[in-house]
Chains A and B, each alone.
Chain A
Amino acid sequence: MKILVCLKQTFDTEAKIVLDGNGKIDRKGVSMIVNPYDEFAVEEALKIVEKDGGQVTVISVGEQQAQDALRQALAMGADDAVLVDAGDKELDEYSTATILAKAISGMEYDLVLGGFRAIDDGSAQVAGRVAEILNIPVVNVVTKLEVAGGKAVATREIEGGNEVLEVSLPAVITAQKGLNEPRYPSMKGIMKAKKKPLAKKTLADVGLDDSQIAPKVKAISFSLPEARQAGKVIPGEAAEAAAELAKLLREEAKVI
């Protein structure tokens, strides 16, 4: 079983975000992590090959710094990694999916895993787009996965419950929290990861030129949200405060 895991390096969830002089998001000095949802995907891939044998390749579209994220996945136990460096070009989900799909189409795979969304731009569409380009089925927001006999049986969150879907492989499956508990890389894993293969490719290496990855979405402006103002603290003992709160919600805020 050959499993590809699409992985994105994102800002740490604790990161404070500022805009630079051009009104763009300032990436300087921000600590970077593996997108937590992609960690679920890496963990799931490792569990599958530990049980059934196979190989796990992690792949990312990013700048050179994204190697750190790939190394972390290698330290968790992935076998090898591919980084497609598109330079500092503006990419949207269409661009990223086009690059990933093109790189993947030149590789052998039975299963493609990824997080259902990244915590930075949170767009939750790259994996689905990759499936569409590769013309293989996708199942999103999966919390349980079983792979056997050339099929995947995936439990996904739907409104008010879950549904269990079966797809033939190869397929794209996106991970939701709850799928598993990602392991921490061991010291030994970290040492081994340094020697595992990490292929660095350019757009030209995967057979794309700039015109093919031109974004469809144009960002017009970035801004920081207005901070919410602290409102009023309602004084008094529980009974008194609760009564006043109910009244305010009804009469002042008009929300109940």
Chain B
Amino acid sequence: MAKGIWVFAEQLGGQIKKVSFELLSEGRKAADTLGEELCAVLVGKDVAGLAASLGEYGADKVYVVDNAALENYSTDGYTNVIADLIKQYEPSALLLGCTVTGRDLAAQVAQRMQTGLMTDCIGMEVADGQLVFTRPIYAGKVIVKACVPDARPAMATIRPNTFPVASNAKAAEVVTVDANVGEVRQVVKEVIRVASERPELTEADIIVSGGRGMKGPENFKILEELADVVGAAVGASRAAVDAGWIAQSFQVGQTGKTVSPVLYVACGISGAIQHLAGMSSAKCIVAVNKDEEANIFKVADYGVVGDLFDVVPILKEEVKKVIA
């Protein structure tokens, strides 16, 4: 009998990702409704000390696999360990953040467990004793509700910023587990971290994004300055990326990243359907554009018709004032 809703507690360099706390917060409600345990799975090297923080957000139990070979994420190593744990404890569900790591890991684990996986979800509810997930498909043009009726664990990756974090202090029971890391076939030759103080685009609460209206790579500095006032990430439209003004990894849209920030500030972005697909689940959208007919105004909560080169620097100063 499968039992327990599990949350993969993703950590990087000893820091648990906020999305994992979000999943625990929402998972707590689902676990209570279903009368199941809520468990976190914490994998890494020297991570045992992080277990208590998972209880803060509602975990009844934390399974900890602490192993030097798990210091950095590897597809095979993490898949082997998580699959081992699942076979041992047979949870009914496994939730992961839809992050680079969560997405990579979820597919491998799902196949090894011969189960179903719903990716990039933006909602979760309990209906008829099942976890039902909401996910946008066709780049957000259609919303599907789906479940995994029979196979276990039911798996889902959920977009960061989907659920609020709610503290729900529990003294989580910590269960240290030995799991077999096995052979890791992906051999790391090099890791290149691009030094950035800014948050990861897909996980950022606020994104300041630029498009064709930026006119050149040098002008992204204006956006970066605004971003840094509020701890935002910087994004871009395909037009800016294809023009070579900013790296592909910053692209938001159907052929870039899908983001769900609390606030998305679109500067000099016309709002092509493919761009809207990547950001229209933002809670609040601001558009700054010279062209009052620009499509982006049709989805923006607040619009300023004007030259971004005039508006954005002043906005930065005004934002500084209001948050001071």
Contacts and interface: CB of A to CB of B under 8 A. Distances in A.
A8 B206 CA distance: 34
Contacts, number: 266
Contacts of A123: 117-120
A13 B148 contact: no
A177 to B, nearest CB: 5
Nearest to A238: B310
B29 interface: no
Contact of A223 (B143, B147, B286, B301): B143
A161 B192 contact: yes
A236 to B, nearest CB: 9
Contact of B286 (A143, A160, A215, A249): A249
B136 A225 contact: yes
B114 A94 contact: yes
Contact of B314 (A93, A242, A253): A242
A227 B75 CA distance: 38
Contacts of B263: 249, 253, 255-256
Say whether chain B's binding surface is mostly helix, strand, loop, or mixed: mixed
A168 B76 CA distance: 14
| Residue with the highest number of chain B CB atoms closer than 10 Å, among A15, A120, A123, A164 | A123
B230 to A, nearest CB: 5
Contacts of A97: 111
A230 B298 contact: yes
| Residue with the highest number of chain A CB atoms closer than 10 Å, among B149, B249, B298 | B249
A143 B314 CA distance: 37
A154 B147 CA distance: 34
Contacts of A167: 185-187
Contact of B107 (A128, A161, A166): A128
Contacts of A131: 108
Interface string A238-251: 11011101111111
Nearest first, the 3 closest Cβ-Cβ pairs linking A and B are A216-B116, A128-B107, A246-B318
